[in-house]
Amino acid sequence: MPCLKPPELMNTTPAQKCFFGGLESLRGLAALLVVFYHLAPLIKNPVTSCCFVKNGYLMVDMFFILSGFVIFHNYGTKLGSMSEIGRFMMLRFGRLYPLHLATLLLFLVVETAKYVGESRYGMVPHETTAFSLNSTSAFIANLFLVQSFLASANFSFNTPSWSISTEFYTYIVFGLAVFFAPSRMRMRLTASGIILLMVSLLCYNHSYWLGPQPGLCFLRCVLGFFIGVLAYDFFMACNWVAKWGNTAGLFVVLASAALLALKPPESAGWDYLVLPLFATLIVVVAGSAPGVLTNILNSGPLRWLGKVSYSIYMVHLFVEMITSRLYVSANALLLKHVQHGWPAGISVFLLGIFFILLTVAAVLLLSQLTYKWIEIPFQKDFRRLSEIYFSGTLPVEPKGLADQAGGGVR
């Protein structure tokens, strides 16, 4: 179902606010593309070698814009005091940190096992030696969610978590922006000013593509987030989305897919085109009336994919670390027993497809488990704690919408 439009939306209570089901599915699909992006250098296959997959790093910007859109929808008028900002930040912390900590400890166990294997059994490291890149200082940086600000720790341990670090501190910027710019016009001007400032700073630092560059990740996150804020303001102001949203949405989906499929990865300047394109896609998906696009995005499997998207994002690298090593061994064994020529080529191709499917299946299974056993229980715990320690009323968050499942790719 489409989201309610003004003035209906403005007359509802926070608990009655609409749930952007299509956006949840959009987040899930973006998270799945990140899985393929990280798998590309590990399993060489035509499926993972196309530009569409290699441009998967741009899905982080989709995450940031989505977060700005949905969080402004939920909290744009509800952060009028420091107490409410405090509760807001506790809820954000409870949404992001427990799974981040769990995966960080999991990678610490892996690094420890690696150290034991090297020191006691003389095992040769697959890439880097134990606790070299994933050092003690990097662990502490990850523990305090500041890894994205440090070049030495930005891509350490569970590398996608760099974006979790940037998004958490972006929430602070957002909370203060809402507090000091409570009116719609002030917020519009504030968001526009922040966007211009971020673009200027990125260009000043010669960041002409949207990759996870050390020291600039926070700027990229703030830029995307406040584009999402402006997108929501536009969404509230326009009246044509419900009527033309499905047609426009299909066009924007095709345009986005074409850009990802044709654009050379990490191409200077071209990456910034995705920002208005993604923002437009989010607006039309959020406001479209029932039709082909909304029916697809609101299907059960895609809604479930969106529900576990944060877990997908946080656990996929661990799964890929295991399956890619199994693939290397299986590929070597296959080439040993299959004759050279086209039979070997087809066999290698099919083996790659098998391991890609195996990886995706394992990621989805593990994501469901971490969603059920880590995400949901801790969200409930932190919600109770926020009610105890902070006064004020914040809106009830829609179930299943991982609005702060921030993402990033190495």
Mind listing the pLDDT tens digit for each residue in 197-219? 999 999 888 777 787 777 789 99
3 in a structural domain: no
Asked whether the predicted pLDDT for residue 157 surpasses 90, the reply is yes
How many domains would you assign to the chain? 1
**According to the model, what pLDDT value does residue 179 have?**
94
User: Other C-beta atoms within 10 Å of 357: how many?
Assistant: 11
Contact predicate 344/184, CB 8 Å: no
The tokens describing 154, both together, are: 């930005």
**CA geometry: angle at 55 spanning 312 and 138, to 5°?**
55
DSSP summary character for residue 371: I
Domain assignment present for 2: no
Q: Is residue 367 part of a domain?
A: yes
- On whether residue 168 sits in a domain, the answer given is yes
> What integer pLDDT is reported at residue 301 of this predicted model?
94
Identify whether 15 is part of a domain: yes
65's tokens: 């814009």
Quick check: 398 pLDDT over 90? no
User: Max alpha carbon distance in the chain (Å)?
Assistant: 71
pTM of the model: 0.90
Q: Read out DSSP for 339-359?
A: -SSHHHHHHHHHHHHHHHHHH
Most confident of 90-99, 127-136, 336-345: 90-99
Whether 405 maps to a domain, the answer reads no
Q: Is residue 4 part of a domain?
A: no
**Tokens matching residue 327:** 């693939």
Please check whether residue 409 lies inside any domain of the structure: no
Q: Domain limits at 296?
A: 9-389
7: preceding bond cis by omega (within 30 degrees): yes
278: tokens are 């993604």
Structure tokens at 34: 């990140």
Residue 182: other Cβ atoms inside 10 A: 13
